[in-house]
Amino acid sequence: MAAGHNNVAAVGTANSNSIYGTNFLGVYSQGSTHAQIAVLKANLRQYRSITPSYLWTSTPSLEGNTSNAFDAATTANLMVFQSNSGLTADGSYGAGSRNAMHASIGVSPRGWVRIFKSTSGYINYNDTVAGLANDATYKLDHAWCTSSCRDTLYSIGYAFYSTYSKLIEVNDGSLMDGADTPEHSTHQSGREVDIRNAGLTAAEAKKFLEICIANTNVSRVIYYTNHGLTSSKIYIRADHADHFHVDTVN
Ligand SMILES: [Zn+2]
Q: What pLDDT shows up at residue 10?
A: 97
Model confidence over 26-63: pLDDT tens digits?
999 999 999 999 999 999 999 999 999 999 999 999 99
Distance CA 134, CA 127 (A): 11
Asked whether the predicted pLDDT for residue 1 surpasses 90, the reply is no
Domains of the chain, residue spans: 111-250
Query: Would you place residue 3 in the very low, low, confident or very high pLDDT band (cuts 50, 70, 90)?
Result: confident
DSSP state letter for 224: S
Model confidence over 86-95: pLDDT tens digits?
999 999 999 9
Rounded to the nearest angstrom, the distance between the alpha carbon of 76 and the centre of ligand 1 is 38
Single-letter code of the amino acid located at 97:
S
Rounded to the nearest angstrom, the distance between the alpha carbon of 55 and the centre of ligand 1 is 39
Is residue 161 a contact partner of residue 230, using CB atoms and an 8 Å limit?
Answer: no
Per the DSSP assignment, residues forming a β-bridge with 236 are 223
Model confidence over 123-167: pLDDT tens digits?
999 999 999 999 999 999 999 999 999 999 999 999 999 999 999
Q: What pLDDT shows up at residue 217?
A: 98
SS3 helix, strand, coil % of the chain, rounded to 5? 35, 15, 50
Rounded to the nearest angstrom, the distance between the alpha carbon of 24 and the centre of ligand 1 is 26
Is residue 209 a contact partner of residue 183, using CB atoms and an 8 Å limit?
Answer: no
Rounded to the nearest angstrom, the distance between the alpha carbon of 192 and the centre of ligand 1 is 6
Distance CA 217, CA 153 (A): 10
- The topology under which CATH files domain 111-250 is Muramoyl-pentapeptide Carboxypeptidase; domain 2 (3.30.1380)
Asked whether the predicted pLDDT for residue 81 surpasses 80, the reply is yes
Q: How many CA atoms lie within 13 A of 107 on its CB side?
A: 5
Rounded to the nearest angstrom, the distance between the alpha carbon of 222 and the centre of ligand 1 is 8
Model confidence over 168-227: pLDDT tens digits?
999 999 999 999 999 999 999 999 999 999 999 999 999 999 999 999 999 999 999 999
Rounded to the nearest angstrom, the distance between the alpha carbon of 150 and the centre of ligand 1 is 15
Rounded to the nearest angstrom, the distance between the alpha carbon of 174 and the centre of ligand 1 is 9
C-alpha distances (whole Å) from 2 to each of 13, 99, 108, 176 are: 15, 17, 11, 9
